[in-house]
Structure 1
Amino acid sequence: MIQLEDMRLLTQTLDSGSFTAAAERAGVSKQYISRRIMALEAQLGTQLLIRTTRHLRPTDLGRAYADQARAILQQVAELEQSITGASQSPRGHLRVTAPMSFGTLHLSGLLARFLGAHPEVSIEIELNDRVVDLHGEGYDLAIRIGALADSSLIARRIAPMEMVACCSPSYLRYRDAPKVPSDLQQHDCLLYGHGSLVEWHFGARGHEKIRLQGRLRANNGELVRDAAVQGMGIAYLPTFIVDPELASGQLVTILDDYRLASSAVYAVYPQHRQSSPLLSAFCDFLSQELSIRSGKSMS
């Protein structure tokens, strides 16, 4: 039990950024936390933290140990919940990663509501558009958009989603609308993604991939959307980013006959977390809330 408590103090120290902040959170002295972590380092025979007068950061081994310690502490909390019958009131810590635009547009308000309803839950969320290694980087859950690569992860559908090609009415006043996807290569395309070439996928008479270059490429969908509204070209974006602009007429869809079949937003998590009451409650909450929104502005 002492080692579990030392794990808890180490992770709280790293999460808080200092011994002082961790001590306030744990209700103990910073000297006590420092002594316990030094004892843990002595037991393991390795340095876990690099301490300077201004900064506190983990060594590489310390970071790896802390990631595993968080997972162990979470499993212990879930075991306690299952034994005490407290699974109806989730508690524990959840590390989540989500795409930047989806997170800012749809998760920011929902997270506050979920935390407000579950006072014993804490959430750490990172927003970025790269594909995160959940196992290697210690995340409990990822929000992913569209088609999923085959993997050992479990994927739960939490909201509908479509990809649409769109532009402003002003763009079409001086350029003819493309009739087939290959016509896009003659247009100003606003690219959302990474790399010098970006692929846009279309359907109708089979799956068609169009590789495009453009004068503007960004890793943020809202920036690309705003450029399209300003008449700079054609964008290819998820409906959850452009629905308000489509509804207001600032953007119009093109190539509607070539849309892919509706896709979805997924919550993805490792198999060993599928019995987690906290993760299940969070996925249930997102599915319910986003399903309500889907009838209004997400699909």
Structure 2
Amino acid sequence: MDVIENLRAYLAVARTGSFSAAARELHVAASVVTKRISQLEWRLKSTLFERTTRRVSLTTAGQLHLIAIQRLVSDLDGIFGSVQQVAPELQGRLRIKAPSSLTVLHLAALFNTFQQRHPLVALELIALDRPVNPVDEGFDIALTLMPDTFGGVIEEPMCAVRRLLVAAPAYLQERGVPQKPSDLANHHVLNFVPTGNVLTFESATGALNVSVRPRFSSNEAQLVEAAAVAGNGVAVLGDYLALPAMRAGTLVQVLADYPMPELWLKALIPENRAHTAHVRAMLEALRSELAPVPPWSRH
């Protein structure tokens, strides 16, 4: 088992860029992480990390081994998880990637409740909005709104997420209300970086694509929402952000006659992890919370 713990230490240092941060993640002393990395480097006959006073980074050899070790540890966790299915209580480590704003606003309570119900499950939750291959990056479940697909990965749809074009009433009073998508050329556009600078609208004659030059961009959707509420422009927001603001009257929908294609929140699960007990339990908890109607659409 020492080899497995050494591999886990290597992955934790690679993720965090720090021996001390890896130690906190693994709940061990920093000296233990240093010892495990030294043992692994001796076994592989390679230096895996460059150490500086500010940061620890992977060497060429360390980068070369990264994906293979991520997959190996994921496979081992899958084996251990399958064996533990006969245990009376769920146990093991569950590593999940989830969209940032959606998780903070609507899924945090679900994850907290899950861990209260299953105290032997160690939960690691990484908030990311970029596409992630859960096999390559060592996730048991990757929740995503992106359309990307990957080999060796099972996809389970959770719920639809509508995209709404919204603005503050004060902004529209000052700048006017756009009547068609092409009118956005004369408006300040606030953009969520991961979705790109081309907006697609549906119309009676088919899809309309509009390229925009954003006045403000951010990779955090809540910052885009805040800019819209402040009256700085029009923004495309997922309904989990837009609907509460619309109910409060701080944002209103524009171009309602030109709906945008909805996104799907889906779970990506490595095939070798899909049948482990704690992964199945988490997927069932997510389905129970999100399907058929997500919580933000129930009001």
Q: TM-score, normalised by structure 2?
A: 0.79
Alignment of 1:1-299 (within 5 A): 1=1, 3-4=3-4, 6-7=6-7, 17-18=19-20, 21=23, 25=27, 37-48=37-48, 59-62=59-62, 65=65, 68-69=68-69, 71-83=71-83, 85-86=85-86, 89-145=89-145, 148-152=147-151, 153-193=153-193, 198-205=197-204, 206-291=206-291, 294-297=294-297
Residue type of the partner of 1:128? L
Aligned partners of 1:154 and 1:271 also within 8 Å:
yes
Cα 1:114–1:209 shift into 2, 3 Å: same
How far 1:198 moved relative to its partner? 0.9
DSSP 3-state at the match of 1:241: helix
DSSP 3-state at the match of 2:232: coil
Q: Per-residue displacement from partner, 1:58-95 (whole Å, max 9, x unpaired)?
A: 64544665665454444334434434543674332233
- The alignment-based identity, stated in percent, is 28
Distance 1:85 1:270 in 2: 18
Aligned partners of 1:163 and 1:260 also within 8 Å:
yes
The Cα RMSD (Å) is 3.6
Q: How many residues align?
A: 294
Distance 1:214 1:54 in 2: 35
How far 1:189 moved relative to its partner? 1.7
How far 1:110 moved relative to its partner? 2.5
Cα 1:137–1:61 shift into 2, 3 Å: farther
Distance 1:263 1:29 in 2: 43
List structure 1 runs of 4+ shifted beyond 6 angstroms: 12-16, 51-57
Cα 1:19–1:41 shift into 2, 3 Å: farther
Bigger drift between 178-187 and 59-68 goes to 59-68
Distance 1:151 1:20 in 2: 28
Structure 2, unpaired ranges of 5+: none
Structure 1, unpaired ranges of 5+: none
Bigger drift between 107-116 and 156-165 goes to 107-116
How far 1:247 moved relative to its partner? 1.0
Aligned partners of 2:157 and 2:266 also within 8 Å:
yes
Aligned partners of 1:74 and 1:93 also within 8 Å:
no
Q: TM-score, normalised by structure 1?
A: 0.79
